[in-house]
Amino acid sequence: MLVIVLTAVVFASQPAPPQTEAAWADAELGSGSFTAATIAPVTMTACTFNPGLLGIAASYTITYRMPAGSTDTLFEYSTTAGFGTVTVLAPTITPSATANHLDATISLDLLGGVLTGAKYFGLSARFGSEWKSTRKVAQGSAIVLGAATCSVVA
């Protein structure tokens, strides 16, 4: 207790620091603006359904072109057009017969081409790990037993 009292007396007896001419206000102002970079989207040119044998082991092939400067692509799959629930895909990428294009082949599960329903494939260009372009979309619709359609919708 005595130590606390002595410490308080020592600090109380010290003079206050002298005043300075420093201030946090200044008449000069600065201004500026900035804009975020616009990430160019991929160009999706075709979507083809590959039926396999009556829809068993079917796949979709999406033909696309990457924008200049992109480092990667992000393939997503959803059963809803709004991409509410998304599965990230890792398709097989090969050079396309179309100049400067790539083909992404997305294999469906064993019965994916037999079962009916819509399938949405989203494709975005990525720049680094954080930036991506708007999503381009192809829609596949399996009808029955390997009959299906696929088209670029957005």
- Where are the chain's structural domains? 43-152
pLDDT tier for residue 64 given thresholds of 50, 70 and 90: very high
Bridge partners of 49, per DSSP, are: 60
CA distances from 69 to 65, 122, 132 (A): 12, 20, 12
The owner of tokens 């390997």 is: 146
Name residue, tokens 């007396």.
9
Say whether pLDDT at 66 is over 70: yes
Options 3.30.300.30, 2.60.40.10, 3.30.559.30, 3.40.50.300; which CATH number does 43-152 get?
2.60.40.10
Chain mean position to CA 128 = 10
Judged on CB neighbours under 10 Å (0-12, 13-18, 19+), 22 is exposed
pTM: 0.66
